[in-house]
Every structure is written in structure tokens, then in C-alpha cells.
Chains A and B, each alone.
Chain A
């Protein structure tokens, strides 16, 4: 694919890797915020090519992983109702709630469908006017405009049998929460490129100043990741802490203005619980008053479902790079990829799942 393949070129990667080695003189702990970046790092073995001193801590930017148990349980309750068609991105089907997942709801007769886009769910709603069609609206700022547009269209076209189960989360409050933690080891961030494609970069300079951390907006292909790491290390070595854009082909400072206007219309900021991490104030979006009629939680009256996170799980500490997965008491016993207790075991890119399945972090341990 054009503008994808060029950014995986092994020769250029070698040059970037050499430069990172040449620049690094001491130990640095960088966090790649986005799960897509973690995926790329593991998929291409990038972490193994970095200098021993550069440690990549996998951040909380996987929307599937951080969707709270309670929301999953509410989704399962809605999906199990007769007359409901429950639509979701494929990622969410295997994520377990407290007793089952969407796959099991489907096997018990629930009409659960995988769609590529929320607009597909709206289409299903228009084709099935006698059924209630619910879309599981998860994701960060990148995905939110798609869900916002779908709700907007539903209202405009008068599609009353459509609703959205919203669990949107926001990156900047998560970065602040990580930095506020007393035991935080993160010294710099690779910010999530596609989040910034939508939101621009204006939210990040205050964070960089306040916490004195370099923040480099980074893409997802191997060369993008390496360039993000290189620029971060250059800043760290020079004692600087600025916001840089290493993904200018897809990120403009001002973001996508029409998308941000739509977001401001359809959503409003709310507190959110992140699975395995806990509550972060003002770290999510919910439907604004104007669109509240499309809120699936209200339509199906599931807001009474409350589920506590596992007390055994220490994924919050894993996410912050404070402990290695195997030091958690539940690791490999109560908690496995097939029966995950926390965020980091849910997704195949989560640190615990990666350690469990691939034994990869052993490599990091021996560094």
C-alpha cells in the first residue's frame, strides 16, 4: 500500500537504529501510548533492535483493554435481550466480562454482529426497523468522530431504533494520570499519531511543560516508531522536554476541525474508569444532552449494573512499568489470556498476554 510500505524499509530502519544507538548514552524509559504502536513494536521486533538503555513501556492506549468490566457487563446484558441486534468491532467479542463474553452471548442465541464501521450498524438499523440495533461505541479520540457522526446521522435520518453504548476514553488525562503516580518511571511519551490526526497537538505542550517530559507525536509503521524513539532520545539526552510532530503526513497542529466540532456537539466530557487502572477524572466522553435519547445505557436501563474489578489484578502497575507481569500473584494462575482479569492480559498486545504467550518480556528482563 502506498505510504505504508515505504515506511517499513529495512535499510532506512537500519540507519535510524544506528542513529538511536549513537545518541543513547544512558538508560531511558519511554512509553508508547497507543496499542497500535505496541502492536507494531511487537510485530516487527523493534524493541529488540533498540539500545539496551532504551526501554519501551507499553501504554494504556488499547481501547479494548481499558474498557471497564462494568461496561462489558452492560454490553452483555443488552446483547442478550431478545429483539436486539448488538453490533461491535471484532476486537470486543473476545473481551470477557465478569462471567462471559460476547461470543458466549451469541452462542446462547444473542444476535451479535461484527461490523467494520459504526455506519454499518446504522445501515443494519435502517434495514431492521422492528429491531433495536445497538453499537458498542468504544475507542479513543480517533474512533469517536465515527461514532459521533453515526449518532448525528441517526438523529438526522430519524432512525429511532439505533443507539450507542458509549465508552470513549481520552489520551491527555491518561498521560497526566500516569505522570501523577508517585512511582511513575516514564520519562517520555510517543504520543498516539491518529489521535492527534483528529485532535491536533494543542493539548500536549502543557503536559510536556508541567511534567517535564518530551512528547513526540508518532506514527505506526516501523520507520515512524523508530523516528519517534530517535527524536525522544535526542530530547532526553539534551535535557529538553518539548512536543514534536514526527508524523506530519497525517497530523496537523490544528487537528481535524470539522471532526472536533462534531465531537463537541455530540459528546461531553465525563469521568471514566479504565479497566485495571481505575477512575481517571474527566478522561472520557458520553453523549451530550442533545443526543441522550441515543444512549443505550438509558434505553435499556442497564446503569444499575455495577461490577467491581478484580482485586487480584495488578495490571495498573504493569501498565506503568512498575512490575513485570510474572510478579503479579494472579499471573498464569487466576489470570490467563483465555481468562484475563485485567487490561494487560485482555489484548494480545497487552504486556501480560505478551509475556504469557510469547515469553517475550524475558528478553527485556535480562537487559
Chain B
């Protein structure tokens, strides 16, 4: 289910009574139906599935999640000794885990 990708809203327009938008996916542009997130403004990111924006992408959350991953690493390093055996067991020098 459900290949959906984030894109940035470039412009919006009403077509046949429906809110449509031109959305930019890193240079690839596609017309997308915005009817389910009508209050999105130009410049915001939306998650698009089969030509429909199904949810607004919360940039704050995205950055927080990435920061959390960053912190996980720091934690792992602080407690390095305790985690070491499990890490070694899991990863060969080439990084292929078995």
C-alpha cells in the first residue's frame, strides 16, 4: 500500500470546484489534488499518494525525529562498553550483518 512521497506546494488553483496544486518533488512537478488539506499554503510540504495530498508534512516533527536519531548515537557512544558485544555480534567488518 502506499507509495507516498513528500513534495512542496508551488502554487494552488481551483479547478472545477476542486483545490488543486502544483507540487514539486525535488525538480519533478506534478499536479496534485489538495481537497483533503485545503488550508495548506504555498511553500508547505505535503505527503502525496496517487495524485492526492493525504497529509501535511510536519517539518518540525521531521527535524525532531532526525535530532532524536542523532542523540541515539551519542547515547550509544557514552554507554559504549555495554553495547559493544551486541554490536560486534551483529555486524561484520563489511557491515553485512551475518
A interface with B by C-beta (< 8 Å): 1-4, 6-7, 11-12, 14-19, 21-22, 24, 34-36, 45, 48-52, 61-63, 89, 116-120, 139-140, 142-143, 145-146, 149, 153, 156-157, 192-195, 197-198, 220, 223, 227, 248-252, 256, 258-259, 262, 363, 367
Contact = CB atoms under 8 A, between A and B. Distances in A.
A328 to B, nearest CB: 24
- 7 nearest A-B pairs in the assembled complex, by CB-CB distance: A117-B51, A15-B73, A197-B55, A140-B1, A1-B26, A21-B90, A22-B83
Q: Main SS of chain B's interface residues?
A: mixed
A151 B1 CA distance: 20
B1 A63 contact: yes
Interface string B72-98: 110110000011001101110001111
B50 interface: yes
Interface string B48-84: 0111101101110110111001101101100000110
A116 B31 CA distance: 11
A1 B25 contact: yes
Contacts of B90: 17-18, 21, 49-51
Contacts of A17: 90-91, 97
Contacts of B50: 89, 116-118, 139, 143, 146
Contacts of B6: 1-4, 250
A143 B2 contact: yes
B1 A36 contact: yes
A194 B1 contact: yes
Given A34-B1, A256-B37, A249 B17 contact: no
Nearest to B1: A140
